[in-house]
């Protein structure tokens, strides 16, 4: 099986997540092309058997470039098994209200693109204080404080559950 992984990553965690997914599918014998959305250009999806789209949430939205890609290729995506990986920090908290909001963000994204993902998986991201500018660091410290999360503002803190992600990939795309 030949898989496409197309992703948008602002601070790098979604890229790590996609690399992990790529390693998993290669280990089981599938071939994979992993592409940052900015380099996807006019790519033809016809040679691929399935696709993963992945993006991260910033201020309640996924990256616009990923939205453009999904809209441009909605027809092809709707004809193959697809997995939508939505990376956020809110999912790490386990709050049902946050989960409902993340589901709404993912559904709005897909609706606007005209794409119906075969499966949506929410994946916890990371605090990347080494990547943030002053204002981002301030905002993220405030968010962490509000959520009662204990983070060191001088270090990166990763919440991604790699074992759970491996399980999602192991089961996908299924029969
Ligand atoms: C400026 C900024 C805004 C963010 N806004 C949200 C948000 O609205 N909801 C959320 O759950 N996570 C939010 N996050 C957390 C990111 O989704 C998380 O750090 C993720 O790992 C980023 O993935 P990336 O490194 O691939 O860009 C925000 C992060 C930053 C830096």
Q: Does position 33 have pLDDT exceeding 80, yes or no?
A: yes
Mean pLDDT value of segment 48-72: 97
* 160/114 Cα distance (integer angstroms): 29
Structure confidence at residue 154 (pLDDT): 86
Q: Does position 13 have pLDDT exceeding 80, yes or no?
A: yes
Closest CA to 92 of 128, 124, 58, 140: 124
CB 125 within 8 A of CB 88: yes
Mutate to test the pocket of ligand 1, among 12, 16, 56, 156 (most ligand atoms within 8 A of CB): 56
The 10s digit of each residue's pLDDT in 153-173 is 888 899 999 999 999 999 999
Is the CB–ligand 1 distance for residue 88 below 6 Å?
Answer: yes
Is the CB–ligand 1 distance for residue 13 below 6 Å?
Answer: yes
Mean pLDDT value of segment 5-19: 97
Is the CB–ligand 1 distance for residue 36 below 6 Å?
Answer: no
CB 62 within 8 A of CB 109: yes
Q: How many C-alpha atoms does 170 have within 13 Å on its Cβ side? A: 6
Domain 2-125+160-171 in CATH 3.90.850.10? The answer is no
Atom 4 of ligand 1: nearest residue by CA position: 58
> Separation of 79 CA from ligand 1 center, angstroms?
30
Atom of ligand 1 nearest to the CA of 160: 21
> Separation of 152 CA from ligand 1 center, angstroms?
16
Mean pLDDT value of segment 131-143: 89
CB 25 within 8 A of CB 32: yes
Is the CB–ligand 1 distance for residue 51 below 6 Å?
Answer: no
């Amino acid at each position: 099986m030949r898989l496409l992984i197309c992703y948008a990553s602002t601070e790098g965690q979604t890229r790590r997540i996609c690399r992990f997914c790529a390693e998993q599918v290669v280990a089981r014998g599938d071939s994979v092309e992993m592409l940052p959305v900015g380099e996807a250009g006019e790519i033809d999806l016809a040679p691929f058997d399935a696709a993963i789209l992945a993006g991260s949430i910033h201020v309640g939205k996924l990256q616009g470039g990923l939205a453009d890609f999904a809209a441009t290729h909605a027809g092809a995506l709707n004809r193959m098994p697809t997995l939508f990986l939505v990376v956020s920090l809110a999912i790490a908290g386990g709050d049902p209200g946050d989960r409902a909001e993340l589901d709404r963000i993912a559904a709005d994204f897909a609706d606007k693109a005209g794409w119906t993902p075969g499966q949506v998986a929410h994946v916890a991201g990371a605090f990347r204080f080494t990547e943030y500018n002053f204002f981002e660091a301030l905002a993220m410290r405030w968010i962490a404080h509000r959520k009662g999360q204990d983070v060191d503002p001088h270090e990166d803190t990763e919440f991604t559950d790699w074992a759970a992600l491996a399980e999602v990939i192991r089961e996908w795309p299924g029969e």
